[in-house]
Structure 1
């Protein structure tokens, strides 16, 4: 088996060709906030190969349960109850333990609990729309939540965002930092979304779509969706004919 990566190892160079370009006029807000000059590549230093370390006791017992963590006086949020779970790995297939996974989302009506969200859907008094947890030793995470609703947005006059959950991940180095969105299998709004349409390939779009996982359903309670996430990996010497992360 190849050697495990060390905390001082650098991370693999990011392939910018796999990511959506910063400037995509069909996604109108990218016009004002995208860089106009070529990005500068810098050597990785201690600032890039390290990151804050989190302890389980720093998180609350209900931080990962969006059905209960904002509920008031025995009430529960309105909407379809779901489980979202998966494994966080690096690009060489190795699990990333103790990664901080944070999520935020709209409620079942498609409205965020945010002062700038003026959509006509009502605020749910029992739903805060955010949660967090750490991955376990195998890189596994799980959340319980309400399936978010789609909502209109002022990109073009009749553009709608598909149902989605925002993810923020912090691994063991700043170079692994990832902010992304998860969509739901079968949503007809996905192909027409101007943000999704900036993604270079169909394969990459599929990587952002959670698939229904019937084996993880909670009977008479919740459906489940599986969403695995890949972060950048640390460089390590690879043994020929061996997949990193596999058993010897």
Structure 2
């Protein structure tokens, strides 16, 4: 009688394996156009405890709202100084941060204008596959009409995607992996 092979999780991630070659917390560099911002926060489990062995990847449009990707056919300029992709590991207290530029609005399905946002993938122990979500920025007027935000009926789930403006270009956004305050995740 044969048995099914047990599934494996995607973590933990060992920080010594995420060398400078693979870790990229600065998407903007010195030559990027646009307003510089910092996204910082924590990854927390369902009990509010930090997750110290997690990897976070982000990707986003540049300040003009253009992705540096062959499938982005929007008539907007590419910023050669902007990376558009970042990857970091959480520290022992579950903290992470990215330095980037405020993304511009992008066209979505049917050319519906999407609010500026940052796409996020979370890899952590205990997960069978990565979690996918988005970061929106507090105070952005287009949040009110964003097609994805507006299909999320639960106000707390919508609120979990909004990074809090701490002033001086700094935003705080926590990723909560489970429980009553869980971050809204999407199927990818």
TM bucket normalised to smaller: 0.7 to 0.9
Written as runs of structure 1 = structure 2, the 5 A alignment for 1:156-235 is 159-175=112-128, 177-214=130-167, 217=168, 223-232=169-178
Q: Which runs of 4+ in 1 moved over 4 A?
A: none
Per-residue CA shift, 1:20-63, capped at 9, x if unaligned?
xxxxxxxxxxxxxxxxxxxxxxxxx9525563533344332661
Q: CA deviation at 1:80?
A: 0.3
In 2, distance between residues paired with 1:232 and 1:176? 15
Q: TM-score, normalised by structure 2?
A: 0.84
Q: Which of 50, 55, 60 is the matching residue for 2:15?
A: 55
| SS class of match (2:69) | coil
Q: CA deviation at 1:95?
A: 0.7
Task: Confirm whether residue 83 of structure 1 aligns to residue 23 of structure 2.
Answer: no
Written as runs of structure 1 = structure 2, the 5 A alignment for 1:1-248 is 47-49=7-9, 51=11, 53-60=13-20, 63-68=24-29, 76-155=31-110, 159-175=112-128, 177-214=130-167, 217=168, 223-232=169-178
Over the aligned positions, Cα root-mean-square deviation in angstroms equals: 2.1
| SS class of match (2:150) | helix
Q: CA deviation at 1:188?
A: 1.7
In 1, distance between residues paired with 2:6 and 2:31? 45
In 1, distance between residues paired with 2:76 and 2:54? 34
Per-residue CA shift, 1:126-174, capped at 9, x if unaligned?
112001010011100011011100022333x5x2000000110011122
Q: CA deviation at 1:193?
A: 1.8
Whether the 8 Å CA contact 1:91–1:231 is kept in 2: the answer is yes
Q: Which has the higher strand share?
A: 2
> For structure 1, which runs of at least 5 residues remain unmatched after alignment?
1-44, 69-74, 218-222, 234-248
Whether the 8 Å CA contact 1:59–1:133 is kept in 2: the answer is no
Pair 1:59–1:161, CA change in 2 (3 A): farther
Q: Which has the larger radius of gyration?
A: 1
Pair 1:152–1:177, CA change in 2 (3 A): closer
